[in-house]
Amino acid sequence: MAREQPNIGDLLPLLESSDLQKLDEIRGLINEHLNTDRGSVLLNSLVDYYLETGCSQAVQILISVREPHDKHLLDKMYEGLGRQPCRLPTLTLLGHVVRKQPPWIHKIARSPLLNTLLKCLKADSDVVVLITGVLVLITLLPMIPQPGKQHLYEFFDIFGRLAAWNIKNPGHVTDVYLIHLHATVYSLFHRLYGMYPCNFVSYLRSHYSMKENVDTFEEVVKPMLEHVRIHPELVTGTKDHELDPTR
């Protein structure tokens, strides 16, 4: 009598096993099924399982996904970012993927996932989501091919919004979260100044010349500027050159 094949979905909870030999077998079975025609179905189930449980073994499998299943993973994370209850674990998963730097990471720039991430950072009021999302963006920026002006201005708008958070504190969050957010925004400042100094300084000049933004500049942004050296590109570069695809 032929041995009945296990339902691969039933194997997912076994990723929590403390038996290392059994764990290796389960991971092997899952990776084997990911390479079949129905691999996308399993991948979706694996993402759902991670979002529900935070299983570290599921993450290790997902960050090693290869083409063509990268599209299914990007689509699934796009779906997760659009749902408030799934937003934070989805951002956490995206952070793991970005830090792994798979060969297909550049595709994020052309997927709806990036736009949804930026939309989240421009509108969400959950400070933990914002901190996590900014850290993802900081890591992702060097991996994005030259962005268009629209995306660049969105990066700057996100900086401006979150730099003002410590002054306005619209979410009335506790001091410890404000400290973490400030440190994250400071890291974003360094990333944007390092990559797009001409465009970023132009944005800072325009944005903080407005009366309603003066307090944020004096208390948050000016101290950041006081701790960086003048960027050579501010002397030899131009705003257009920074966005030249051949650069």
Task: Pick the range with the lowest mean pLDDT from 178-187, 194-203, 233-242.
Answer: 233-242
pTM: 0.88
- CA-to-CA distance for 247 and 244, rounded, in angstroms? 5
- From residue 53, alpha-carbon distances to 43, 50, 59, 86, 105 in Å are 15, 5, 11, 11, 25
Average pLDDT score over residue span 149-154: 89
- CA-to-CA distance for 14 and 22, rounded, in angstroms? 8
Cα 171 to chain centroid, rounded? 21
Helices (H), the chain: 8-11, 20-34, 39-53, 56-62, 69-81, 84-100, 112-123, 127-140, 149-163, 165-168, 175-195, 197-207, 214-216, 222-225, 233-236, 239-242
**So what's the pLDDT on residue 150?**
85
pLDDT band of residue 1 (cuts 50, 70, 90) is very low
pLDDT band of residue 246 (cuts 50, 70, 90) is low
- CA-to-CA distance for 218 and 214, rounded, in angstroms? 6
Whether 223 and 197 have beta carbons less than 8 Å apart is answered as no
pLDDT band of residue 6 (cuts 50, 70, 90) is low
- CA-to-CA distance for 155 and 152, rounded, in angstroms? 5
**So what's the pLDDT on residue 221?**
95
pLDDT over 50 (residue 71): yes
Task: Pick the range with the lowest mean pLDDT from 87-91, 92-96, 175-179.
Answer: 175-179
pLDDT band of residue 30 (cuts 50, 70, 90) is confident
- CA-to-CA distance for 208 and 79, rounded, in angstroms? 36
